[in-house]
Chain A
């Protein structure tokens, strides 16, 4: 693992300006990543995971836009790029992404090979047999028969399609690969094999990886660092081992306790009463306070700051030093 920082995100906020109000989907995200390092991003549906990913690629869909902060990749501030620069300098080459649900939208009329060669042609001007050779090498890398290059998407299983999409995201050797729920639609056996491949590739290729899923069990397999999101905030972030063993934020504590276990007998599952808030009108103070068992007066009024406890950053009043 190289220690050099390749991605630095500072105070990043992205909002959607809808007719019903401003959706505060991401607020004040802060983190850094170095080569070979993986960041797992967890949180319930609608907490802003995909919004954060799209922001890093400068691909936030209208009516959304980045409203604050910076994203530094190799000395370049992504938030300052225009669309043309983002396409030429950023996407695929610096940051690539496996989109949530991508395997369902592979174009049925083109072969796997045709779809894989697109970014090679556009960004590196590599075509013909040279491009074919590169694609086949990457197919092999994700444990697929290189002959799949000639096949059509409808002839493939879900797991094969997802591997092809992962291979395509790796083709241009980006510094950062973002995987947004890459295994959510797959069966456990296929999922476990893809996770094995990703673990292997992470070491082999030494690029940084951002792995997004609501499934904390899967995240434990792949994350060096873990970020837990709630209602647009990163509420806890730090080394995954520490957070799994000793979660500090009340939300993280509940989330981890709610995971049903295969080899342990339990009478009751932990859960968090209530539902996440509407992000057009999040609760005042701490956004988690209506569901938090440990909430006190201040939580309903004052937004918590981020506190550092032994290398883990926690956005919660409980960890304020007095």
Chain B
């Protein structure tokens, strides 16, 4: 059994929403968003975990909690055995920040435009007192640039961010995070602002680095297709909860939770010949607000399989299939993953509905 690097139990983060003057005057109760609402999460040493889900489901908040950029409201959080909730000593926090690093989504705003690449990479070294002399630091910076394939390093070292393409900027951001030799990395949508061809190149690069340096990482994305290639495990979030998690292949090919099933049905696949067919997306209505999380199973107002019990009782983690593949659903394991596809007539009416198994969907 691999060692657990990140362990969260019943972890919560609430945000208070600022009130308007009228709301204060009327003494309305303050609204709270349950951004992360009692999650359990294990990330194993030298393994990667993907966190997926729709906008606002709480992915970034989980990342920031783990990085200690936000303080949790309640729960337990251990990273490498350290109780992160209790980290308040400045020195310990600094050591923690060296061990755990974050890469952000936006390569355009995460680098200070006034600094050259050299300064951007030197800053963390200075903060953490690494590299005794300028020459030593320069050598480390050149090595970091080589690691992210910005070669030859001399060509990039004196450039300002505006003199780099989006993909090159994100490489600098990755270099900045690797230069401290962290054990654990949180990458929050690291490639989603980049073009498809550049995206693939960066994902390959990150995967190589991670494999070579034996890093543990949390990869946050709304692009589920990239997790199969890039991670070992994934967690699917809905409205502040991780509703399903497990080994990536199992979750994607044999999703247990109705929300995961709907999400996967919705992901487009680059298969032509589908112009006459529409996929039925097995989910109702729209995502409720985080200030108003439904009782019982939080997915019940939108779930096509909801029964009475779902409205009353919050489902616990179920592990009906393979070990380590868990879903928070009363009927996990009983609901089979099938895709319903409807055929359209020439004037756009639904003619016939057929059910497809995963094997049919995968094609060749």
Contacts and interface: CB of A to CB of B under 8 A. Distances in A.
Interface of A: 1, 38, 44-45, 157, 159, 187-193, 195-196, 199-205, 214-218, 220-224, 240-241, 244-245, 254-256, 258-273, 275-276
B197 A271 contact: yes
Interface in B42-71: 54-55
Nearest to B205: A271
A240 B275 CA distance: 10
B153 interface: no
A273 B201 contact: yes
Interface stretch (B3-11, B89-97, B219-227): B219-227
Contact of A192 (B198, B200, B268): B268
B269 A189 contact: no
Given A188-B224, A220-B269, A258-B199, 12 more contacts: A187-B54, A189-B263, A189-B283, A192-B281, A193-B266, A196-B281, A199-B278, A220-B270, A222-B275, A254-B197, A255-B196, A263-B228
Given A260-B229, A263-B361, A263-B362, A200 B278 contact: yes
Given A203-B344, A264-B362, A240 B200 contact: no
Interface in B166-216: 167, 195-201, 203-204
B139 interface: no
Contacts of B347: 203-204
Nearest to B208: A268
User: What 10 A-B pairs have minimum CB-CB distances, sorted nearest first?
Assistant: A204-B348, A203-B348, A192-B266, A271-B201, A271-B200, A269-B200, A217-B268, A187-B54, A272-B197, A263-B362
A258 B268 contact: no
Contacts of B229: 260, 266-267, 269
B269 A188 contact: no
Contacts of A254: 197
Contacts of A245: 272
Contacts of A216: 196, 270
B252 interface: yes
Contact of B200 (A196, A258, A265): A258
Contacts of B165: 275
B86 interface: no
A200 B276 CA distance: 9
Contacts of A196: 278-279, 281
B262 interface: yes
Interface string B232-269: 00000000000000000100110000000011111111
Size category of the B interface is: 35 or more
B334 interface: no
B274 A203 contact: no
Nearest to B202: A271
Given A44-B195, A189-B263, A255-B197, A217 B275 contact: no
B271 interface: yes
B167 A275 contact: yes
12 contacts: A38-B275, A189-B266, A192-B281, A200-B278, A221-B268, A262-B228, A262-B252, A263-B228, A263-B358, A264-B362, A269-B200, A271-B204
A259 B223 CA distance: 11
Given A220-B274, A263-B253, A271-B201, A199 B344 contact: yes
A215 B268 contact: yes
Contacts of A263: 228, 252-253, 358, 361-362
A244 B201 contact: no
B182 to A, nearest CB: 24
A255 B196 CA distance: 8
Contacts of B286: 157, 159, 190
B82 interface: no
B265 A192 contact: yes
A197 to B, nearest CB: 9
A205 B274 CA distance: 19
A265 B228 contact: yes
B322 interface: no
Contacts of B196: 44, 214-216, 255, 258-259
Interface string B339-364: 00000111110000000001001100
Which residue of A195, A202, A222, A260 has the most chain B CB atoms within 10 A of its CB atom? A260
B348 A271 contact: no
B231 to A, nearest CB: 12
B281 A262 contact: no
